[in-house]
Structure 1
Amino acid sequence: MYARTTTVWGRPGSIDDGIASIRGAVMPELQKMHGFVGLSLLADRESGRCIATSAWQSEDDMRASGPLIREVRDRAAQTLGGAPEIAEWEIAVMHRDHDSAEGTCVRVGWAKVDPARMDAGIDLFKDSVLPAFEELEGHCSASLMVNRHTGLVVVSTAFDSADALHRTMGKLDTLRDDTVAEAGAEMLEECDFELAIAHLRVPELV
């Protein structure tokens, strides 16, 4: 399965208006499109950064939807107060321990690996990282998205609350550092988000 992320660095005061725009305008348009699976939205209310992720049955479905959704997507970005940055991914891993609820907090990490080592990195995530996540208090779900051409990877880990995430921060940091070293990866960025819309609907991919 595949995903498109749309990142907007908007105005912190416009977050709620942006969430309403995505719920009321973007999602209904996406639901009309062939191969659409679901949508999630992450929001950082301090910085104004929002990341909308749409999931698709195939790469062709994802690519075909791009021109069709551009106008309504750009209007939502204007509501948030920023310009959209688009990226496309393969969803390599998706696992849910249990469904998310209000208050879910997501840690997202971006890294880069040698594209030739991508499959080995995916196996490392499945065999070592995912079982370690499952042992953490309040862990809800985890995913790994990859771009095999650029070597970019995105790891998302959801927890039942911001408090649950903060209580496991030390273990998460150690796991991140060990995994990056073993994979020969370069850590680019890490950020925590509120899960504002949780309708990604991607099936279990482990």
Structure 2
Amino acid sequence: MFAQVVSVEAETDKLSGLLTFCEEQLPSFREAPGFKGFYLLADRRSGKIVTVSLWDSDADLRRNNDGRGAQARQEASAELGVTPPPVDIYEVVLQA
């Protein structure tokens, strides 16, 4: 399994808009080949936001990352009023 991690800091009042955006986008991601899950983590005090998406394979992750995922990150960044952050990709080597 592979994970895509994106971290960003935004104004704390932007979280509710991002949450709505993610809820609207999730149905199309759930249909993507290899999609395993999504987490939206937030520190409401500092405005730090981390997203983690999980994928069956590196190929599934990268196929999504280059297509719909890139578009969704652009739209989410616009929602937050920030520059699109870098994307980190990890292999999940232990799951408990």
Q: Which TM-score tier does this pair reach, normalised by the shorter chain?
A: 0.7 to 0.9
Stretches of structure 1 that go unaligned for 5 or more consecutive residues are 96-206
Q: 1:73 to 1:29 in 2, by over 3 A?
A: farther
Letter in 2 for 1:73: R
Partner of 2:73: 73
Structure-1 residue corresponding to 2:87: 86
Q: Percent identity, aligned pairs only? A: 27
TM-score with structure 1 length normalisation?
0.43
1:1-48 alpha-carbon deviations (Å, 9 max, x no partner)? 1000122211111111111111112x1231121111110010011221
Aligned counterparts of 1:62 and 1:70: Cα–Cα separation in 2: 11
Q: What does residue 18 of structure 1 align with?
A: 18
Q: Which residue of 2 aligns with 1:63?
A: 62
CA displacement, residues 54-110 of structure 1 (integer Å, 9 cap, x when unaligned): 000011111111121211221112212323221000111221xxxxxxxxxxxxxxx
Contact 1:8/1:77, CA 8 A, preserved across alignment? no
Please tell me the residue identity of whatever aligns with 1:50. I
Report the TM-score when normalising by structure 2: 0.88
Q: Is the 8 A contact 1:9 1:81 kept in 2?
A: no
Distance in 2, matches of 1:82 and 1:45, equals 17
**In the aligned structure 2, how far is the partner of 1:51 from the partner of 1:81?**
16
Alignment match, 2:3: 3
Encode CA deviations 1:142-164: one digit per residue, 9 max, x unaligned: xxxxxxxxxxxxxxxxxxxxxxx
Compare CA radii of gyration and give the structure with the larger one. Answer: 1
Q: Which has the higher contact order (CA 8 A, sep 6+)?
A: 2
How many residue pairs get aligned? The number is 94
Instruction: Report if aligned partners of 1:38, 1:54 keep a CA contact under 8 Å in 2.
Output: yes
Task: Indicate the SS of the match to 2:32.
Answer: coil
RMSD: 1.3
Q: Which residue of 1 aligns with 2:43?
A: 44
Structure 2 residue runs of 5 or longer lacking an equivalent are none
- The aligned runs of 1:105-184 (5 Å cut-off) are none
